[in-house]
Amino acid sequence: MSKGVLLVNLGSPDSTDPKDVKKYLGEFLMDPRVIDVPLWARTLLVKGIILNTRPKKSAEAYKKIWWDEGSPLIVLSERLQKKVADRTSIPIGLAMRYGSMNIKKGLQELHDKGVNEVMIIPLYPQFAMATTETILVLAEKLQKEYFPNMKLIDVPAFYNKPEYINVLSKSITEKLEGIEYEHLLFSYHGVPERHIRKSDISNGNCKMDGKCCFKKGSEQHKFCYRHQCEMTTVQVAKKLGLKNGTYSTSYQSRLGFDPWLKPYTDRTIERMGKEGIKKMAIVTPAFVSDCLETLEEIAMEGEEIFHEVGGKEFTTIPCLNDRDDWADLLANWVNEWVAVKTQTA
Ligand SMILES: C=CC1=C(C)c2cc3[nH]c(cc4nc(cc5[nH]c(cc1n2)c(C)c5CCC(=O)O)C(CCC(=O)O)=C4C)c(C)c3C=C
Ligand SMILES: [Fe+2]
Ligand SMILES: [Fe+2]
């Protein structure tokens, strides 16, 4: 077998033109693992309502964070891909779940290089139906349809792997060196609570009551996004020696009127400012690359909310992006997998 890797991130529109944003959002939000209602209802909601109003507003937001080279999420993912490729000896591809750099193209490029065993690495530390699962399901479908002789290997969520926690903790320490802060907020992308129930393999284990996601036992939490986010916070807090009450977890970027994971980030930032916190820092561990949700929603909107209610210093910690130690870590996982071949060949 000839091995290769496909790194997969979420994707971005081709440009900040509302037409491109509409096309991208259409593909993203029509994914049944993102808006998980029956097709007729999803079509009505997405094509009948959201796509008529949101693209213009989202395009304005994208304009605020767009770089000369393109979408930060794509550019940063490409830089990471290059660094991982420099540290490994097999082809390292990059694809996006939505948009032009799609998974089919990514698999095709690897196939054209003679690769017939692909390790799929979703660039998400925590498992979610709307991210990891949709990538793996689509990759498998494409493999069956177009690449019947290709074998796909999945990488489990790495939300609690010590080496990942080390790199994330180091990125926080480096940014906060010499900076005073009273509270460190860990803000994760939210999902509707319903998604947690749907992915709950223990049938009802997850009560979202603030207790069950802290229970020991990895098997029942294998697909619990909430547990995995909470555990990333717990592990990093332990590593950094943070005292109880000086850090917390919240969830951002909700869409629609269903209940999403709580507490909500915007309300948490507001509450903290109102309670008299003057200096806060915020880290966004559900994202490995800075993107609209970190650069605009947190670094711009979040800061504005904090200042409006009396907060003074709002420090945002960059995502892992193309940090050398993050590229080293991914490359180590790849090289360990490559070594298995050598031993069994
Ligand atoms: C952990 C990662 C993510 C989860 C889980 C997730 C779930 C999720 N997202 C939406 C709706 C939107 N997300 C948008 C942007 C966006 N989402 C993620 C990651 C996760 N989403 C990223 C990295 C980005 C930024 C992309 C970029 O180009 O920078 C957007 C578009 C932006 C906007 O219009 O606000 C929407 C919409 C849902 C509904 C959902 C789970 C059900
Ligand atoms: Fe999202
Ligand atoms: Fe739970």
Under a CB-based contact definition with an 8 Å cutoff, are residues 322 and 83 in contact? yes
Tell me: do 312 and 328 sit in the same domain.
Answer: no
Which ipTM value was assigned to this complex? Answer: 0.94
Tell me: do 70 and 175 sit in the same domain.
Answer: no
Ligand 1 atom 37: residue of nearest CA:
25
Tell me the CA distances in angstroms from 182 to 83, 278, 316, one per residue in order: 35, 7, 14
CA distance 148 to 116: 9
Tell me: do 86 and 110 sit in the same domain.
Answer: yes
Residue 110 alpha carbon to ligand 2 centre in Å: 27
Tell me: do 127 and 193 sit in the same domain.
Answer: no
In-domain check, residue 136: yes
Enter the tokens of residue 307. 């200042």
In-domain check, residue 157: no
- Ligand 1 atom at minimal distance to the Cα of residue 255: 39
Instruction: Tell me the residue range of the domain where 8 lies.
Output: 3-152+323-344
Closest alpha carbon to 326 in 3, 105, 7: 7
Tell me the CA distances in angstroms from 216 to 201, 203, 222, 231, 281, one per residue in order: 15, 17, 12, 10, 29
pLDDT in tens, 28-64: 999 999 999 999 999 999 999 999 999 999 999 999 9
Tell me: do 121 and 181 sit in the same domain.
Answer: no
The answer to whether residue 345 scores a pLDDT higher than 70 is no
Enter the tokens of residue 122. 């979703």
Tell me: do 200 and 252 sit in the same domain.
Answer: yes
In-domain check, residue 304: yes
Total number of residues shown for the chain: 345
pLDDT in tens, 69-94: 999 999 999 999 999 999 999 999 99
Residue 283 alpha carbon to ligand 1 centre in Å: 17
In-domain check, residue 196: yes
Q: What is the pTM of this model?
A: 0.95
> What residues are designated binding site for Fe(2+)?
189, 293
Tell me: do 12 and 83 sit in the same domain.
Answer: yes
Tell me: do 332 and 244 sit in the same domain.
Answer: no
Closest alpha carbon to 116 in 3, 229, 217: 3
Q: Which of 9, 10, 57, 227 to mutate to test ligand 1, by most ligand atoms within 8 A of the CB atom?
A: 10
Q: What's the domain count of the chain?
A: 2
Residue 341 alpha carbon to ligand 3 centre in Å: 37
Tell me: do 305 and 173 sit in the same domain.
Answer: yes
In-domain check, residue 133: yes
Tell me: do 334 and 309 sit in the same domain.
Answer: no
In-domain check, residue 264: yes
In-domain check, residue 300: yes
User: Position of tokens 């803000």?
Assistant: 187
Tell me: do 311 and 205 sit in the same domain.
Answer: yes
Q: In CATH, what number is assigned to the domain containing residue 309?
A: 3.40.50.1400
Chain centroid, CA 21 distance in Å: 19
Q: Which of 23, 65, 123, 253 to mutate to test ligand 1, by most ligand atoms within 8 A of the CB atom?
A: 253
In-domain check, residue 138: yes
- Identify the three-state secondary structure at position 121: strand
Tell me: do 250 and 289 sit in the same domain.
Answer: yes
pLDDT in tens, 230-252: 999 999 999 999 999 999 999 99
216: which residues sit within 8 A by CB, 6+ positions away? none
Q: How would you classify residue 255: left for phi > 0, otherwise alpha for psi between -120 and 50, otherwise beta?
A: beta
